[in-house]
Amino acid sequence: MKAKNSLNPALVVKRAIAIVDSDGLDALTVRKVADEFGVTPMALYWHFANKEALLASVGDAVVADLRMPAASLGLEDYIREAMTSLIDVMRAHPSTAPLVAQQIMQNETGRDLTEACLERLAQNGFTVEKSAAVVHYAMQIAMTLVSGEPGAEIAVKPTERQTVRAEKLAVLLSLPEDRYPRLRAAAPAMIDCGDSDDYYASGIDIFVAGVMAEARALADA
């Protein structure tokens, strides 16, 4: 017989994050969470309206660690810091990245960050539409960088990642050398990005440089 009040939303979310971290997002089922608490699946429905609500709570919990960049920063550094902050939060629990992206506007810090970015973009000549687009790109790109990190294979269980990587590499290396010399040479780098920090820094650099190019174009007009 289980004690009452053994369940509460915060505890459930914590367990859910642990499951997602170890086995991927698809492994997060209502029944599995319930099992780990030694409780009936339906017990969770007292604390969450449905699975969607649980997923939203997971996203919100991960977003909670989001930090605001220093308010004194100019456009370029602010965008860079905002992206870095977002990515850092997602990297802590990579498989939750899609949930974080979906939940960010429901979170106070997420909204404050968005507002601050929109403010800086407006100050630099971006129209409302352009600003909205840039903020949207930033969130989406942060998510894909994390979800699609080569070598991380977020959708696959950690135990099987090595195998999946090896298979992918073998496929690329089986291509004819005369037709795909660059692809074969780049194969290891495409399957595993090597240094994660470099991978993210490079991605952020490209995005920030792109936004600044747009800013210059607007300033010239």
Partner DNA sequence: ACCTGAACACCGTTCAAGT
Query: Smallest gap, in angstroms, from Cβ of residue 14 to a second copy?
Result: 26
The residues of the shown chain that bind DNA, judged by CB under 7 A, are: 2, 4-7, 28-32, 39-43, 45-47, 50-52
Report yes or no: 58 and 97 within 8 Å, Cβ to Cβ.
no
Residue 170 binding a second copy, by CB under 8 A = no
Minimum CB distance to a second copy, residue 203 (Å): 6
Annotate 40-97 with DSSP letters as a single string: -GGGHHHH-SSHHHHHHHHHHHHHTT--PPPTT--HHHHHHHHHHHHHHHHHHSGGGH
Q: Match 């968005």 to its residue by tokens.
A: 114
In the region spanning residues 84 to 113, those forming contacts with a second copy, defined by CB under 8 A, are 105-106, 111
Q: Given the complex with a second copy, which of 7 and 97 has the nearer CB atom?
A: 97
- Give the separation between CA 218 and CA 126, rounded to whole angstroms: 7
Q: How far is CA 16 from CA 3, 30, 172, 201, in A?
A: 20, 9, 36, 29
| Candidate residues 53, 92, 172, 173; the one interacting with a second copy per rule CB under 8 A | 172
CB 183, min distance to a second copy, A:
5
Give the range of 24-32, 63-71, 75-83, 125-133 binding a second copy by CB under 8 A. 125-133
Torsion angle of alpha carbons 73, 76, 79, 85, nearest 10°? -70
Site residues (vs a second copy, CB under 8 A): 105-106, 111, 114-115, 118-119, 122, 128-137, 140-141, 143-145, 148, 150, 171-172, 175, 179-183, 185-186, 189-190, 193-194, 198-199, 202-203, 205-214
